[in-house]
Structure formats: structure tokens, C-alpha cells
Amino acid sequence: MRKKKSWKCLTALALSVAMLVPVQAAFAAEEQTTESGTEAYEESSTADADGFKIENGVLKKYTGTASEVVVPEGVTSIGEYAFADNINLLSVSIPQSVVSIGESAFAGCSKLTGIYIPAHVADIGEHAFIDCCLKTIIVENGNTVYDSRENCNAIIETETNTLLFGCPNTIIPEGTKHIAHCAFFRTGIATVNFPKGVMSIGDSAFFACNMTEVIFPEELTSIGKAAFSQSKELAKISVPEKVTHIGLSAFELCGNLSTIEVAEGNTVYDSRENCNAVIETESNTLILGCQNTIIPEGVTGIGERAFMGSGYLKKIDIPETVTHIESYAFWMCRNLKEVNIPESVKTIGEMAFKGDVDGVTIYGKTGSYAEIYAEQHNINFSLHPLKTISSNDVSLSQTTYTYDGTAKTPIVTVKDETAILKEGKDYTLTYRNNSNAGTATVIVTGTGNYKGTVTKNFIIAVKKGTSHKAGFYQYQVTGTSTVSVTGVTNHKITKIKIPKTVKIGGKTFKVAAIGNNAFQNNKKITSIEIGSNVKTIGVSALEGCTKLSKATIGKGVAEIRGNAFKNCKKLGTVDIKSMKLKKVGRNALKGIKPTSKIKVPAKKLSAYKKLFKNKGQSRKVKIVK
């Protein structure tokens, strides 16, 4: 009778604290050892001269030291643990007579690099090749139970399309539906390409492997317990839409994990607000986090082992919606120094913090459950420190705006390292001078656990080409400090008086022109007085203003463009104050009152008579000083 070493898969092992120490120590829990540390067997009979102990066709145990072993012809079964922990075994030749290979038959044969499964083998026990260093796996053609299709370097159960055993060189073939428990257990496989159609990944399937990113197939529905546990190079995972089951500790002790995504449309899990975590949607429990996780508002629980072994996690803020933190949630987060726990948390599971961690401090309020828990478990506790918000912590979504008369409120983002703070809870905002043109201000003031005041400025500019209302008139911005009148805002106005300047958005602009068609066909206007900053009266600016009887042209006008006063049939007085007029466009005065008088400065009488000649007015129109 012998005492058997337990090679049970990490399905159960991953759920025990034994996972916190080297895996071998967990296996040793059921192992009987001699003083030298090797396994002791109580044999009922001795092995032959070659080291084979065979009973009724079953190879019970190989005790030899050969590195290349040929199993004798006639052996029908390789028994459980027959070659287990044989550190000399480099290769083994299995005869055609063998029909079964027992549980853990070659487990721990750390130098075994290849295995050839004969055609008649119809039963291979669990963990038969676990913890081997296989590089080549071949199933003989003709085997009706197993295959290694497409030279995949794996053993596949043909009927169920389940990949049972793999190695670092395995290429998972098309048609594979399931990855069995412990299929790649500690093989160190670094690249895994799942073909379309893989639906499930078993417990501990990729335990302690070396991939940096896993891209799951769309058809995947289940990820087993400890499936990728201790895969220390794993940095990114994306959970597909159809996944409805993620086993406990599925990504435990993956210390390099920094990006976690859940596909939109998944009805069981989510990664809301790009939180870099997996949240069980119905219960609002965060079941998996990483070094970049920001726990979102609405989460009510931190699940068992959610952050266990997250090696780069330095700080975590628990939102006020969380009521419970489960066992081992932050166990062995070696760099975790600060945990902020609100009063809403009423239960914290055993060993939720620390492990081999030094210097972790729980921050909370006096009398809170967090303080009680910290005292009971000999963990540092401190009142929430007031942190100072600095200018570098604050950013604006936009720093320049175009003035349009409405208040501008850029989105303010305030960070505490990687954590995004909440307005109202962590800070308040005050906007000043954010409606008019110029320099506007937003003031960020710390509150709650934060202090300090930060002022950020942004610019509101009146842009060239934009149109604005001011008083009775509509203006268009033509330059950094000039505008053109383009129309009226009050269509009942009868007397037009163009100002020298106008304020738009709090900024003063010179009114430098009357735009083309500005008042065309306005039947209300009876008079117009043009301010001294206007240099140009645009094309058809007052054409068709049939009630216009008087126009006073300001001192700055240098040009009256074509058709400017065309068909103003009641226009009888035009008083020109400008000494700068250089150009009058074609038909500028066509159709004005025949008896009209155009009054001009005395010094310009001769020049302006020439300037106004043949501009469409009747010959009866007089130009006088």
C-alpha cells in the first residue's frame, strides 16, 4: 500500500490561502516525505531489474534512473503516478499495447520534453502530464478517442473537441470548443490565439503562464476558477459580450494587470465609466480590479480576492456607495500604502488587507467600522488627511471660446494622481466673467477631504466674421477692433443713427462701415446719421428706402459704393461732413428726389462736384456748400 501525492488541480487550490505561498507547498499538504524530502511508497512487491513494477499488465511504478525509457510490450495501462516526479526522464516510448494512462502518471517529470500517444489509448487520466516541460505532443493517427489535429502539439478529446493537455508550442486548432481544467497549467505558454468557437476555459487552465494579453473569442461564455491565476506578465484582458461566468480568482495574482475591459452588451458584467475593472452588474459587486482601477460610484461591494496580488496598486479610494469588502480583497498588494474607506462600509472580510504588505494605512473617520477593523487587525489607521489641490491637478476641457453672448463653462477635471475627483464631494466650482469677451475665470475650491484653491483662466474672443446684436443694430466683426453695421434689430425704428463705437461682449469696437444691403428696402427709415468712424457705405446699403428724406454723412466716410442711395425717392437733403471722400460708386444717387440738395464742405465744393457727376441723380440736384 502506498501514500499517494495529491495532484488535484488548482480548482480547489486556487480557493485556499495556500495559493499565497509556492504551489509546491500546497501540494505537499497531503504528501508524506522522508528526511531527504522524497516521496515514500510502501510497495507490496519489488520492481524488476529495469525498475518496472508491473502487475496484471498495469505499470504500477517505475523506479529506475534511466533518462530514456521504453515501456515493455504487453503493458496495457500506465498506472496513476507511475512516473510522477521522475526528474531524470527525458523521453518515454509507450507501446501499442497500452490502452490507458492513469491520473498524474507523468506529473512533475520536469525534463520530459515530448510524448507520443499510441492509437489504442482510449483513456487518459486527469493531470497525466501536469508540470512537465513538453515541447512536442503527438497522438497517433487512427486513435478514435484523442487527436492532435493540424500538428497542434496538444491532446484533444475528439468527440467533445476539448483540448485536454497543451504545451508552450501548442497552437489551438480550429474546431476546439473547450479548454480543459489545467490544460496549460504552468507550461509558461506566452502566446495564445483562441480560434473562433471556443466556448469555455476550465479551472486553472492557464495557471502561471506568460502571455501579456489575452484576446478571447466572441463565443466564449465561461472562464473557470483560477484560469489565469499567477500569470504575472498578463497586462490586458477584454471580456467578451457572451461571457456569463467568471470563476473566483480567475485572474488572481496577475500583478502586472493594468487594463480591463468588458464588451458593451454583456448582460452579466460591465466595466462602467472605463473603470478598468469587472463589475457584476446585478449585484454592483466589483469582482476583479487592477493597478489602474478607479472604483466607480454605484458599486456596493468589493468581491473576494478582487485585487489580490495587484503588485503596482499604491492607493485605492472606496466610494461612499460601498457597504462591504470581502475576504482577501486587497491581500498581498505589496505596494498598497493608502486605502480610503468611507463610513458606508459596515463589513470587511478576514485578511482583506496586508499579507506580506508593510506600511498600508487605512484612512477613515473616527468611530467608523474602518477604524474598528484596523485596530482589530493591527493595521495603521489615520483620519482622512486633507489633501491640497494644486494647479497641476486641474485641467479644462477648453481654454478658448468664441463669444456668442452665452456663459461659457468648460468641463473641469480634477485629479488626485490617477483618481478623478467628484464635484460637490471633493471640490466646488465658481465661474467669473464667463459671459463677455476677455479673460474668464473658474475657481476650484477643495472640500471634504481636499483643501486649497486653484484659479484657471480661459479666453472668450469675439471672432472675425461673427454676427452680434447690440442696441438697435446688427453688427458683423470685420477686424480685431472694427465692425460693420449689417441691419436693424428693431424693425420699427425710423431714425437711424450709426454710432462711432459699440460694445460687443464687453469689448469696444469702432463702427467702420455700413455693410452691403444693410438697410435695403427698409420702408420705415426717414433719416440716417452716420458716425464719424464709418469709412465705407456699402453697395445698396440704403437702396429702396422710399421714406428716407435726410442723410448725414459722417466725417470719416471715404467711399460711397454703387447704388448706396438708389431709389430713395424722398431723399431731399444729403449733408456730407467728410473731407475724406475719394470715391462714389455708380448710380449711388440714382432715383433720389429731383430737387434734392447735396451739401458739402466749402473747401471740397469743386472737387465733390466732379466726384458726384453722373452718379445717377437728376440734373436738377444741386451740390452746394
Helix/strand/coil for 518: coil
Taking residues 578-601, report their average pLDDT. Answer: 96
C-alpha cell at 54: 508491473
What's the number of domains the chain is made of?
A: 3
> Does 502 lie in the same domain as 424?
no
Answer whether 300's CB lies under 8 Å from 320's CB.
no
Give the Cα separation of 330 and 450 in Å (integer): 25
Q: How do residues 490-504 score in pLDDT, each as one tens digit?
A: 989 999 999 999 999
> Does 375 lie in the same domain as 488?
no
pLDDT at 194 over 60: yes
* Residue at a domain's end among 385, 420, 453: 385
> Does 369 lie in the same domain as 310?
yes
> Does 391 lie in the same domain as 365?
no
Taking residues 222-239, report their average pLDDT. Answer: 96
Alpha carbon distance, N-terminus to C-terminus of the chain: 136
Helix/strand/coil for 317: strand
Answer whether 275's CB lies under 8 Å from 295's CB.
yes
The pTM score is: 0.62
pLDDT at 22 over 80: no
> Does 265 lie in the same domain as 392?
no
Q: How do residues 168-183 score in pLDDT, each as one tens digit?
A: 999 999 999 999 999 9
CATH number at residue 421: 2.60.40
Residue 187, domain member (yes or no): no
Give the Cα separation of 8 and 130 in Å (integer): 10
pLDDT bucket at 418, cuts 50 / 70 / 90 = confident
Distances 315 to 104, 294, 360, 563, 578 between C-alpha atoms, Å: 43, 10, 9, 75, 74
> Does 475 lie in the same domain as 432?
no
Distances 457 to 81, 444, 507 between C-alpha atoms, Å: 74, 11, 18
> Does 348 lie in the same domain as 425?
no
* Residue at a domain's end among 432, 461, 490: 461
C-alpha cell at 548: 428716407
Answer whether 251's CB lies under 8 Å from 288's CB.
yes
> Does 366 lie in the same domain as 429?
no
Q: Parallel, antiparallel, or unpaired for β 285-288 and 301-302? A: parallel
Residue 377, domain member (yes or no): yes
* Residue at a domain's end among 433, 461, 489: 461
> Which residues have C-beta within 8 Å of that of residue 24, sequence separation ≥ 6?
none
Residue 61, domain member (yes or no): no
What's the confidence (pLDDT) of residue 7?
Answer: 44
Q: How do residues 321-355 score in pLDDT, each as one tens digit?
A: 999 999 999 999 989 999 999 999 999 999 999 87
Cα–Cα nearest to 452, from 545, 406, 390:
390
Taking residues 288-294, report their average pLDDT. Answer: 94
CATH number at residue 309: 3.80.10.10
pLDDT at 11 over 70: no
Residue 520, domain member (yes or no): yes
Distances 144 to 1, 77, 116, 154, 291 between C-alpha atoms, Å: 35, 17, 15, 15, 47
pLDDT bucket at 229, cuts 50 / 70 / 90 = very high
273 phi and psi angles, rounded to 5 deg: 55, 30
Q: How do residues 358-397 score in pLDDT, each as one tens digit?
A: 788 999 988 999 999 999 999 999 887 678 999 999 999 9
For 427, the enclosing helix (H) or strand (E) is strand 427-432
Answer whether 27's CB lies under 8 Å from 185's CB.
no
What's the confidence (pLDDT) of residue 45?
Answer: 60
Distances 339 to 191, 291, 329, 361, 388 between C-alpha atoms, Å: 35, 13, 12, 6, 18
- Give the dihedral sign, CA 87/92/97/103: positive
Instruction: Write the single-letter amino acid at 324.
Output: H
Answer whether 446's CB lies under 8 Å from 452's CB.
yes
Residue 111, domain member (yes or no): no
Domain that holds residue 315: 255-385
pLDDT bucket at 425, cuts 50 / 70 / 90 = confident
> Does 611 lie in the same domain as 482?
yes
pLDDT at 277 over 50: yes
- Say how far residue 110 (Cα) sits from the centre of its chain: 42
Q: Is 471 left (phi over 0), alpha (psi -120 to 50) or beta?
A: left
pLDDT at 407 over 70: yes
What's the confidence (pLDDT) of residue 624?
Answer: 94
pLDDT bucket at 357, cuts 50 / 70 / 90 = low
Residue 181, domain member (yes or no): no
> Does 511 lie in the same domain as 408?
no
Q: Parallel, antiparallel, or unpaired for β 427-432 and 438-446? A: antiparallel
Residue 218, domain member (yes or no): no
> Does 545 lie in the same domain as 449?
no
Residue 601, domain member (yes or no): yes
Percent of the chain clearing pLDDT 90 (strictly above): 86
> Does 520 lie in the same domain as 577?
yes
